[in-house]
Amino acid sequence: MKNNEYDVIIVGGGITGAGTARDCAMRGLRVLLVERYDIATGATGRNHGLLHSGARYAVTDQESANECIRENMILRRIASHCVDETDGFFITLPEDDLNYQTKFFESCLSAGIHAEIMDPKEALRMEPSINPDIIGAVKVPDGSVDPFRLCAANMLDAKLHGAQVLLYSEVTGFIKDGDRIVGIKTFNHQTHKTGEYYANITVNAAGIWGHHIAELAGVNIDMVPAKGALLIFAHRVNGIVINRCRKPSNADILVPGDTVCIIGTTSTKIPFDKCDTVTVTPDEVNLLIEEGAKLAPALASTRILRAFAGVRPLVAADSNDSRNISRGIVCLDHEKREGLKGFISITGGKLTTYRLMAEMATDLVCEKLSVNKPCETANAPLPGSDGKSFREVAQKIWDNPTTGQKAAAGRLGTGVTNIPAASSLDQSLICECEQVSVGEINSAIERWDVNGLRDLRRRTRVGMGPCQGELCSCRAAGLLAKAHGCTDRARADLQRFMTERWKGMYPIGWGDALREAEYTQWIYKHVLGV
Ligand SMILES: Cc1cc2nc3c(=O)[nH]c(=O)nc-3n(C[C@H](O)[C@H](O)[C@H](O)COP(=O)(O)OP(=O)(O)OC[C@H]3O[C@@H](n4cnc5c(N)ncnc54)[C@H](O)[C@@H]3O)c2cc1C
Tell me which of 360 and 529 has the higher pLDDT.
360
Peptide bond between residue 347 and the one before it cis (omega within 30 degrees of 0): no
Instruction: Report domain 83-144+224-314's class.
Output: alpha beta
Q: What is the pLDDT of residues 292-344, one digit of tens each?
A: 999 999 999 999 999 999 999 999 864 454 555 556 899 999 999 999 999 99
Residue nearest to atom 2 of ligand 1 (CA): 47
pLDDT, mean of residues 360-375: 98
Residue 446: alpha-carbon gap to chain centroid: 22
Please give the pLDDT value at position 466.
87
Q: Where are the beta strands (DSSP E) in 78-124?
A: 83-84, 88-92, 116-118
Residue nearest to atom 27 of ligand 1 (CA): 207
154 Cβ inside 6 Å of ligand 1: no
36 Cβ inside 6 Å of ligand 1: yes
Q: What is the pLDDT of residues 201-210, one digit of tens each?
A: 999 999 999 9
Residue nearest to atom 31 of ligand 1 (CA): 14
- Measured in Å, residue 73 CA sits from the centre of ligand 1 at 21
* Mutate which of 20, 34, 39, 48 for ligand 1 pocket (most atoms within 8 A of beta carbon): 48
Which residues is 83 bridged to in the sheet? 145
* Mutate which of 68, 312, 345 for ligand 1 pocket (most atoms within 8 A of beta carbon): 312
246 Cβ inside 6 Å of ligand 1: no
CA distance 390 to 86: 17
Please give the pLDDT value at position 389.
61
- Measured in Å, residue 17 CA sits from the centre of ligand 1 at 10
Looking at every residue in the chain, the average pLDDT score rounds to 93
Please give the pLDDT value at position 449.
86
Identical topology for domains 5-43+148-222+327-368 and 83-144+224-314:
no
Whether residue 173 has pLDDT greater than 90 = yes
Cβ–Cβ under 8 Å, residues 43 and 313: yes
CA distance 261 to 292: 11
Q: 5-43+148-222+327-368 is classed in which CATH architecture? A: 3-Layer(bba) Sandwich (3.50)
Please give the pLDDT value at position 381.
95
Tell me which of 43 and 420 has the higher pLDDT.
43
Please state the domain extents for the chain: 5-43+148-222+327-368, 83-144+224-314, 390-527
- Measured in Å, residue 75 CA sits from the centre of ligand 1 at 18
210 Cβ inside 6 Å of ligand 1: no
Whether residue 390 has pLDDT greater than 90 = no
- Under the phi-then-psi rule, with left for phi > 0, alpha for psi from -120 to 50, and beta for the rest, what region is 476? alpha
CA distance 417 to 432: 21
